[in-house]
């Protein structure tokens, strides 16, 4: 059963690679059938607007349950939802998706306190023995994103309310790069500061995987829908037809264009000597207005972005 969670973890990480390397699945009307959710997984993450869970893992609606709060914390209300998810929806795995640059790390309690109204203060600070400790306890601020994930993992693992078969793992998301890191990647750093120091190296390692990964999905690209999208662009209007518009030109322009009319007028120049010659009528008659037909086309170019990733030679890695 543990293998299943590892498979799902691989699926999520692979989804994140596709998201990173723009091998992005087409949006389609979601077909939601089978079990709810499709995978027996609940993801707990932060409310941070930069985390689009479905997008960064290339998941579809119906795939997983998602719970969010400030700091991706284990709380009474999270426990409430988790118990429903477990007992009513057969959730077996919980993934805590923390992220770097979390607001809970940046909050200054002193400044926040000044913004709170009396009712909020009354609710939060009950004993007034240690004002800031009570504030901190209520908002659950923390100093380190990686340690926070560890703490939440511990809380879930030791929560007696949860059945023992529930498996829990952590992941760390970096909003600026879009990469998701598995426990085995960030855990060895134990604190975020160390992880940050090595961040470029960690990213580099992720990039090395691109060639291997492209080889792995080569068949999928060649046989799949990717090529279909590269077919001829369509030339249609909004009604699905090739439209034409008429462009009317003024007399001066039509004169320049209508060579026949010009020659005809020149051949009759002698008639100008005729006292009865109606010059205006002659002009109107002899210079017809041509209509130019210029097709108006809409070229629909499929939205395909070609990203040329920066590739590093593997040799340079070995030499390190
Ligand atoms: Zn956050």
Read off the pLDDT of residues 228-268 as tens digits, 9 standing for 90 and up.
544 444 455 566 665 554 444 444 444 444 445 545 555 55
Q: Which H or E run contains 318?
A: helix 314-318
Q: CB count, 10 Å around CB of 92?
A: 18
As given in the structure block, the two tokens for residue 273 are: 């000597």
**C-alpha span between 309 and 107 (Å, rounded):** 36
How far does residue 173's CA lie from ligand 1's centre (Å)? 10
Contact 258, 308 (CB under 8 A): no
**Dihedral of the alpha carbons of 53, 54, 58, 62, in degrees to the nearest 10:** 140
CA 129 from centroid of its chain's CA atoms: 46
**C-alpha span between 303 and 229 (Å, rounded):** 8
How far does residue 88's CA lie from ligand 1's centre (Å)? 28
Q: What is the largest CA-CA distance in the chain?
A: 116
How far does residue 249's CA lie from ligand 1's centre (Å)? 62
**C-alpha span between 17 and 4 (Å, rounded):** 20
End-to-end CA distance of the chain: give it in Å, rounded.
Answer: 39
How far does residue 133's CA lie from ligand 1's centre (Å)? 21
**Residues with Cβ within 8 Å of residue 195, at least 6 apart in sequence:** 146, 172, 186, 189, 202
The pLDDT score that the predictor gives to residue 293 is 55
How far does residue 48's CA lie from ligand 1's centre (Å)? 5
How far does residue 103's CA lie from ligand 1's centre (Å)? 5
How far does residue 114's CA lie from ligand 1's centre (Å)? 22
**Residues with Cβ within 8 Å of residue 222, at least 6 apart in sequence:** none
How far does residue 142's CA lie from ligand 1's centre (Å)? 11
The pLDDT score that the predictor gives to residue 253 is 46
How far does residue 97's CA lie from ligand 1's centre (Å)? 10
Low-confidence ranges of the chain (pLDDT < 50): 229-234, 245-259, 262, 269-272, 286-289, 302, 304, 313, 316-320
Residue extents of the structural domains in the chain: 2-102+142-199, 244-300
How far does residue 277's CA lie from ligand 1's centre (Å)? 89
Cα–Cα distances in Å, from 206 out to 67, 147, 187, 219, 236? Answer: 27, 23, 16, 22, 42
How far does residue 71's CA lie from ligand 1's centre (Å)? 5
Architecture of the CATH domain 2-102+142-199: 3-Layer(aba) Sandwich (3.40)
How far does residue 217's CA lie from ligand 1's centre (Å)? 33
How far does residue 102's CA lie from ligand 1's centre (Å)? 4
The pLDDT score that the predictor gives to residue 22 is 81
In this predicted model, what pLDDT tens digit does every residue of 186-201 receive, in sequence order? 999 989 999 999 999 9
The pLDDT score that the predictor gives to residue 189 is 93
The pLDDT score that the predictor gives to residue 89 is 97
**Residues with Cβ within 8 Å of residue 311, at least 6 apart in sequence:** 207, 210, 211
């Amino acid at each position: 059963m543990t293998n299943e969670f590892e498979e799902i973890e691989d699926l999520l990480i692979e989804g994140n690679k596709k998201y990173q390397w723009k091998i992005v699945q087409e949006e389609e009307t979601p077909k939601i059938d089978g079990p709810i959710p499709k995978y027996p997984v609940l993801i707990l993450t932060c409310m941070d607007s930069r985390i689009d869970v479905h997008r960064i893992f290339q998941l579809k609606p119906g795939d997983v349950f998602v719970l969010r709060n400030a700091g991706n914390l284990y709380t009474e209300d999270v426990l409430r939802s988790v118990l429903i998810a477990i007992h009513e929806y057969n959730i077996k795995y919980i993934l805590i998706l923390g992220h770097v640059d979390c607001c809970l790390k940046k909050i200054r309690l002193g400044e926040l306190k000044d913004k709170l109204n009396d009712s909020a203060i009354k609710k939060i600070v009950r004993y007034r023995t240690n004002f800031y400790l009570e504030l901190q306890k209520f908002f659950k601020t923390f100093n380190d994103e990686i340690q926070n994930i560890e703490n939440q993992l511990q809380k879930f693992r030791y929560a007696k309310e949860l059945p023992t078969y529930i498996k829990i793992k952590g992941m760390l998301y970096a909003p600026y790069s879009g990469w998701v890191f598995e426990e085995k990647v960030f855990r060895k750093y134990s604190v975020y500061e160390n992880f940050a120091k090595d961040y470029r190296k960690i990213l580099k390692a992720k990039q090395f995987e691109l060639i291997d990964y492209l080889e792995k999905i080569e068949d999928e690209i060649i046989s799949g829908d990717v090529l279909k999208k590269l077919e001829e662009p369509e030339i249609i209007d909004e009604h699905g037809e090739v439209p034409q518009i008429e462009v009317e030109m003024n007399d001066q322009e039509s004169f320049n264009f209508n060579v026949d009319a010009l020659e005809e007028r020149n051949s009759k120049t002698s008639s100008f000597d005729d006292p009865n010659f109606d010059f205006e009528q002659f002009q109107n008659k002899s210079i017809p207005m041509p209509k130019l037909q210029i097709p108006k086309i809409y070229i629909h170019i499929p939205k395909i972005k070609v990203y040329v990733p920066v590739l590093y030679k593997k040799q340079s890695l070995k030499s390190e």
